Amino acid sequence: MTYLKQKPLFTLAIRDKCRLGKTLLKINARHGPPKMFLHTERMSGTRDLPVVHHNKYVCDLAPDHRFPMGKFPRVLHFLIKDQVVIDKQVWTPNLASEELLACVHTKEYLDNFINGKIEEKEQMRTGFPWSDGLVQRCRYETGGTVLTAEIALQRGLACSTAGGTHHAFPSYGAGFCLLNDLAVAAKHWMGKSTSRRKVLIVDLDVHQGDGTAYIFREEPDVFTFSVHCGKNFPVRKQQSDLDVSVEDGMEDKEYLAKVETHLPWLLKSFRPDLVLYDAGVDPHWEDELGRLRLTDQGLYQRDLYVIDTVVKSGTPVATVIGGGYSRDIDRLAIRHSIVHRAATQVWKQRGM
């Protein structure tokens, strides 16, 4: 790998290069139509882009709380208002069961979290005061990501209106993340088959997906790719399989170039059976917690590029919205709907 020498503007670390090298030689065995249990109460009735949403993706928080909880229903609201999505496209996920969550999280943590036995210090680290509503919200959100992945495997592409809680570790939550939905979706699907299944997690939230990186640190069949702002949270980074750490203030063109440099060769060499895409909008210039300078157009180009490149490679892709922080909930919700708009364009252009 010569990347280390060629890219002075960012630091790049590739974990276990041998592993990646080996995968170049392996033939990717594609699976037939997957037999799956769909975590859904209602099946979608159209051939349009599947969108996964639940009205319980939200819970009550103090009005001055920093986390913009109100964004989740507004994302779907704007998609419907702008006629990007119609009601029939919307799939409803089930609550993630304890058994499902246990493929990633420890029994002790699940017992404490679900039953409200999380200590105050622990709650501070998550950024949320514990409530039963919070537990329900996180479990529906995780169920949503699992369903999105399952539909994507059938239809080629599907998008949730939540998800991307990548700072959650097996035994604790952190940074507004209580359950690691991406990890649960990946592990659950892989565990349902005796044949080998590989998952690529493309995490373009502005913060490193440290929980996900940790969970899959020794899992050769999950490749974690994170592009994040190096000076941003979390202070102590974990090691993803590929970390691209960018400087503060990066703008559209430079940022997109980073993604374009790596995604094609990752798809070709790792040859995933499924891609989970965290389309966090916190690299946006207006974001309260990001430190980059992407525009709406830049985010649209990014999402269009990622989704189209993955779809073009013949790999199913499921998207989650990831992080985004603003006091202006509607402005933020519209920003989060960029990924669904980009996915809709790919869906139509590729005749899916």
Q: At 207, is the secondary structure helix, strand, or coil?
A: coil
Q: Which of 173, 164, 153, 174 is nearest to 72 (CA)?
A: 164
Using alpha carbons only, give the angle 85, 88, 89 rounded to the nearest 5 degrees. 50
CB 187, min distance to Zn ion, A: 22
Separation of alpha carbons 232 and 287, rounded Å: 12
Contacts of 218 (CB under 8 A, 6+ apart): none
Exposure b/e, 259-281, CB count within 10 A at least 16 = b: beebbeebbeebbbbbbbbbbbb
CB 13, min distance to Zn ion, A: 19
CA distance to 48, 53, 98, 127, 345, per residue, from 160 (Å): 14, 6, 21, 23, 16
Q: Which CB, 110 or 168, lies closer to Zn ion?
A: 168
Our measurement of the distance from residue 5's CA atom to the centroid of its chain's CA atoms, rounded to an integer in Å, reads 30
Among positions 210, 282, 286, 287, the unique one binding Zn ion when judged by CB under 5 A:
282
Candidates 6-14, 101-109, 280-288, 313-321 — which segment interacts with Zn ion by CB under 5 A?
Answer: 280-288
Candidates 66-74, 149-157, 193-201, 205-213 — which segment interacts with Zn ion by CB under 5 A?
Answer: 205-213
Among positions 323, 326, 335, 342, the unique one binding Zn ion when judged by CB under 5 A:
323
Candidates 10-18, 69-77, 115-123, 272-280 — which segment interacts with Zn ion by CB under 5 A?
Answer: 272-280
The residues facing 12 across adjacent strands are 244
Q: Output the six-digit token pair for 51.
A: 């969108």
CB 149, min distance to Zn ion, A: 20
CB 39, min distance to Zn ion, A: 25
Q: Which CB, 205 or 308, lies closer to Zn ion?
A: 205
Q: Which CB, 277 or 347, lies closer to Zn ion?
A: 277
**Is 175 a residue that touches Zn ion (CB under 5 A)?**
no
Helices 71-81 and 329-336 cross at an angle (nearest 10°) of: 60
Report the site for Zn ion in 125-144 (rule: CB under 5 A): none
In the bound state, the residue with its beta carbon closest to Zn ion is 323
4 to 43: interface string for Zn ion, x by CB under 5 A = ----------------------------------------
Q: Which CB, 128 or 189, lies closer to Zn ion?
A: 128
CB 296, min distance to Zn ion, A: 17
Candidates 181-189, 197-205, 241-249, 259-267 — which segment interacts with Zn ion by CB under 5 A?
Answer: 197-205
**Is 181 a residue that touches Zn ion (CB under 5 A)?**
no
**Is 283 a residue that touches Zn ion (CB under 5 A)?**
no
**Is 105 a residue that touches Zn ion (CB under 5 A)?**
no
Separation of alpha carbons 12 and 133, rounded Å: 40
CB 154, min distance to Zn ion, A: 29
Among positions 141, 150, 205, 210, the unique one binding Zn ion when judged by CB under 5 A:
205
Separation of alpha carbons 284 and 37, rounded Å: 37
Q: Output the six-digit token pair for 252.
A: 């559209």
Q: What beta strand segments (E) does the chain contain?
A: 11-14, 40-42, 51-52, 90-93, 157-160, 199-203, 222-229, 242-246, 274-278, 317-320
Candidates 191-199, 269-277, 292-300, 322-330 — which segment interacts with Zn ion by CB under 5 A?
Answer: 322-330
> Is 73 in contact with 57 (CB distance < 8 Å)?
yes
- Residues within the interface to Zn ion (CB under 5 A): 205, 207, 280, 282, 323
